[in-house]
């Protein structure tokens, strides 16, 4: 198993390196390879001041959404579950769009913190509504869907009230905008700690995937593990939405693809899903910048255009 994980990480690292290089060199303005290291080159700053922060953001957000999707699918035992099932994205998006609508004079990083607080607050409300000595996954799913509809109504109202010049920026952000803010170091730390923590619980997650009753008979504390999974999912989803808006299909498609490629063992799925999520979103973001250059399209368009056929293909491979 260790050799398989090492091989998977090496392959993922090579693919990620190529996608990073592709993203750094191509865009509305193509840059030569020597501009990467030559500080005197006129396009050097475009690579390291404009594209590199966006690359980091794509890897962070893609990794967060993919890992969150893997966790929530395990928790609710629903293959159609994704990180936005919990209504967390609605809470974060509502707060973010409020600041955009009111043109509140906060720095972008403070707006991200506010969006993170909104998303995590929505998650805590969902937990309050769905916890009866333990998390009732059926209640969690239903309450999450209802909360998502409620936040969607608030967002629709804000879009209806927005001036025409602001509506475009609000819609663009809702469909995914990785250029909004730069990745902060603590975001990467949270993702790294979450990955390592869940990796240490991989055997318990394998057991939990077979059902809570089986987990109880196997000596796994399903109550505590579900609370951990829920909390980590809420954290990762809040960070992703606050950073880049509501980007669909990453948390739905990537975990399924990884299960098809490496099986159902979480010791393989957790680290490789994080890498694959970063690769997937970074590739989609690069396409969003070059397909209709110099016009930049929302990255969510490309995650859907790629994700829909991939998901249908994956679904056809399972009986």
- Select from 238, 239, 250, 241 the least CA-distant residue to 285: 250
- Select from 1, 5, 22 the least CA-distant residue to 290: 22
Angle between helices 185-200 and 266-290 (to 10 degrees): 150
The model's pLDDT over 209-252, given as tens digits with 9 standing for 90+, comes to: 888 778 878 888 888 898 999 999 988 998 898 888 889 889 99
**DSSP collapsed to 3 states, 268-299:** HHHHHHHHHHHHHHHHHHHHHHHCCCCCCCCH
| Residues 244, 61 contacting (CB under 8 angstroms) | yes
Residues 6 or more apart whose CB falls under 8 angstroms from that of 17 comprise none
- Select from 250, 200, 204, 170 the least CA-distant residue to 75: 204
Distance CA 253, CA 313 (A): 10
251-286 CB burial, b ≥16 within 10 A, e <16: bbbbbbbbbeebeebbbbbbbbbbbbbbbbbbbbbb
Model pTM? 0.92
Distance CA 276, CA 293 (A): 26
Give backbone dihedrals phi and psi of 136, rounded to 5 degrees, phi first: -85, 110
Tell me which residue has tokens 């796994």: 220
> 26 in helix, strand or coil?
coil
pLDDT at 123: 87
- Largest interatomic CA distance in the chain: 65
Q: Name the residue range of residue 304's domain.
A: 2-316
Query: CA torsion sign, 62 to 64 to 313 to 11?
Result: positive
Tell me which residue has tokens 């969510």: 300
pLDDT at 286: 93
Distance CA 20, CA 236 (A): 22
The model's pLDDT over 89-115, given as tens digits with 9 standing for 90+, comes to: 888 888 888 887 876 666 667 777 888
Which letter does DSSP use for residue 50 in this model? I
pLDDT at 268: 94
Q: 38: domain CATH number?
A: 1.10.3470.10
Here the tokens at position 204 are 């318990």
The pLDDT tens digits along the chain (319 residues) read: 678 888 889 999 999 999 999 999 988 888 888 888 888 888 888 898 889 999 999 999 999 999 999 999 988 887 778 888 778 888 888 888 888 787 666 666 777 788 888 888 888 898 888 888 778 888 888 888 899 899 999 999 998 888 887 887 788 888 888 876 677 788 889 899 999 999 999 999 999 888 877 887 888 888 889 899 999 998 899 889 888 888 988 999 999 999 989 988 999 999 999 999 999 999 999 999 898 878 888 898 899 888 888 888 877 776 6
Here the tokens at position 177 are 């905008």
Here the tokens at position 108 are 């972008």
Number of domains in the chain: 1
pLDDT at 203: 93
Distance CA 247, CA 225 (A): 27
Which letter does DSSP use for residue 184 in this model? P
Here the tokens at position 138 are 């059926």
């Amino acid at each position: 198993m260790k050799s398989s994980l090492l091989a998977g990480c090496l392959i993922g690292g090579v693919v990620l390196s190529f996608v990073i290089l592709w993203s750094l060199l191509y865009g509305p303005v193509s840059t030569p390879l020597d501009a990467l290291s030559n500080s005197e080159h006129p396009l050097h700053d475009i690579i390291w001041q404009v594209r590199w922060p966006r690359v980091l953001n794509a890897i962070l957000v893609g990794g967060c959404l993919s890992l969150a999707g893997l966790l929530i699918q395990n928790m609710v035992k629903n293959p159609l579950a994704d990180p936005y099932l919990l209504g967390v994205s609605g809470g974060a998006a509502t707060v973010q769009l409020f600041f955009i609508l009111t043109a509140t004079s906060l720095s972008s990083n403070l707006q991200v913190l506010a969006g993170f607080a909104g998303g995590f607050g929505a998650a805590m409300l969902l937990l309050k509504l769905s916890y009866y000595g333990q998390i009732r996954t059926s209640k969690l799913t239903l309450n999450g869907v209802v909360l998502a509809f409620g936040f969607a109504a608030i967002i629709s109202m804000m879009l209806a009230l927005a001036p025409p010049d602001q509506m475009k920026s609000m819609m663009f952000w809702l469909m995914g905008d990785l250029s909004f803010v730069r990745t902060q170091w603590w975001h990467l730390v949270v993702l790294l700690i979450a990955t390592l923590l869940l990796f240490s619980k991989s055997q318990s997650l394998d057991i939990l995937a077979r059902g809570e009753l089986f987990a109880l008979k196997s000596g796994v504390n399903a109550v505590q593990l579900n609370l951990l999974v829920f909390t980590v999912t809420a954290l990762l989803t809040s960070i992703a939405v606050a950073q880049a808006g509501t980007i669909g299909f990453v948390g739905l498609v990537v975990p399924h693809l990884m299960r098809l490629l490496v099986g159902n063992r979480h010791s393989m799925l957790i680290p490789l899903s994080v890498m694959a999520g970063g690769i997937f979103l970074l590739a989609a973001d690069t396409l969003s910048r070059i397909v209709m250059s110099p016009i930049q399209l929302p990255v969510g368009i490309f995650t859907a255009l790629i994700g829909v056929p991939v998901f249908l293909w994956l679904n056809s491979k399972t009986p």
